[in-house]
């Protein structure tokens, strides 16, 4: 089963919750991980089962990076805020770096997230 990580910065949490609600049926077919605050918001709004990690600033981004490095994550959906500086920018950059290093499909917005989860290439390995 494919594994998807869901992450969003504070100003993008509403966006990822709406995206997850719209794609609930599709996402329910996958094993989901999420950083703490984002994951709790998604769980409250959907019926999705999510493996919760720590919140991003408290190590959740690094936990996701470890899952990628251990080849236990197939896709990263990370709605990050390009207009807001984050106190844990170093962790965010490290997460994006390891996702690229391990060739993990990474979506930073709704359009790309939709393309990834609707792609026959992604579904063919479920």
Could you give the residue numbers annotated as active site? 61
User: Tokens in use for 20?
Assistant: 């997850």
DSSP E strands in 25-89: the ranges are 31-34, 51-52, 75-79
Nearest to 87 by CA among 35, 33, 15, 9: 9
DSSP string, 10-27: GGGHHHHHHHHHHTHHHH
Tell me how far apart the alpha carbons of residues 9 and 82 are, in angstroms, rounded to a whole number. 10
């Amino acid at each position: 089963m494919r594994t998807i990580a869901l992450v969003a910065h504070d100003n993008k949490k509403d966006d990822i919750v709406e995206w997850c609600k719209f794609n609930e049926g599709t996402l329910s077919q996958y094993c989901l991980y999420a950083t703490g605050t984002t994951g709790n918001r998604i769980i409250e709004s959907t019926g999705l089962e999510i493996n919760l990690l720590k919140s991003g600033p408290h190590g959740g981004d690094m936990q996701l990076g470890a899952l990628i490095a251990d080849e236990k994550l197939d896709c990263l959906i990370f709605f990050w805020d390009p207009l807001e500086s984050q106190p844990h920018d170093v962790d965010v950059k490290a997460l994006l770096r390891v996702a690229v290093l391990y060739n993990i499909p990474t979506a930073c917005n709704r359009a790309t997230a939709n393309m990834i989860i609707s792609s026959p290439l992604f579904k063919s390995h479920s």
